[in-house]
Amino acid sequence: MTAAPALKRPLDQMPCDPGYIRLSYELEASLDNSNYEDTLEKWRVIAHLGEDRFGLEHIPPCGKCVARWNQIEEASGHVDEDDECLHRLRVGMLELVKVRWGGSQNPFWAMEEESQNLYEIAETIFDDEHTGFTEEFEEIAEWGGNDVLVLDKAEIGEAWRGFGLGPAIAADAFRRLAPGCSAVMVHPAPIDATGMTRDERDRACDRLRETWATLGFVPYGDTPYMIFATCWADPEEKQHALRKASRELTMQWRAARQIDG
């Protein structure tokens, strides 16, 4: 049994009961498949606190909304009471792309068109003719299906960082979206490195590598990416432990406040 990663912040700093966190899964697609969604399935997993409810009044509005209200206040002297911050109940967000063979486009070209990050990953997994995977990739990911799942973006709100929620949310996403995929890949790099020195960026990458290793990702050859094959036992056990840890987190939070759960 793999132990869940230790919290980097004391649990009493968590904005509210983690048992309130809900995950919404969205798939972006057009009716006429005009963006080749049968080749690239773009999933978004939003972690949020559901509807505004009793007990969440203490969660402050986000900085952007406060700045916007200040501007309105300065300009007109009056801010509409109904102008709410819709972001304050947002915990975080993951973006995942399921790359599929047998759709209306070649997966290599679809990834190339989609983004620089996906294109660079495609370069490392497809062979030169773009008709199959490289030998190196197939040695790792031979079983489990033809598709590949890419964890493309992960963002956790400032107030929610340090409690292991990124891996916990990803563990849930992989359980739902990885079936049919032989492997899952991630690029451990900050989404926005502007203003970071080289050292700061390297340290951020190291921390992300540690974070994603808790889900069973390992370095993918000499590329900057990490990978796990869905047929491996270790990632499955680690992800199971993370999902279990989510339940324990809620129990710990409630026990600390002696709330019946």
By beta-carbon proximity to Zn ion, the closer residue of 42 and 90 is: 90
Residues written for the chain: 261
- Min CB(68)–Zn ion separation in Å: 8
* Closer residue to Zn ion, CB minimum distance, 90 or 201: 90
Full DSSP string of 198-243: HHHHHHHHHHHHHHHHTTT-EE-TTSS-EEEETT-HHHHHHHHHHH
Q: How far is the CB of 13 from Zn ion (least distance, A)?
A: 20
Least distance (Å) between residue 16 CB and Zn ion: 17
Shorter beta-carbon distance to Zn ion: residue 65 or 72: 65
What b/e sequence results for 46-80 when a residue is b if at least 16 CB atoms lie within 10 Å of its CB, and e otherwise?
Answer: bbbbeeeeeebeeeeebeebeeeeeeeeeeeeeee
Give me the residues that bind Zn ion (CB under 5 A), please: 62, 65, 85, 87
Task: Please report how close the Cβ of residue 48 comes to Zn ion at its closest, in angstroms.
Answer: 13
For residue 253, which of 60, 245, 92 has the smallest C-alpha distance?
Answer: 245
Between 51 and 222, CB nearer to Zn ion? 51
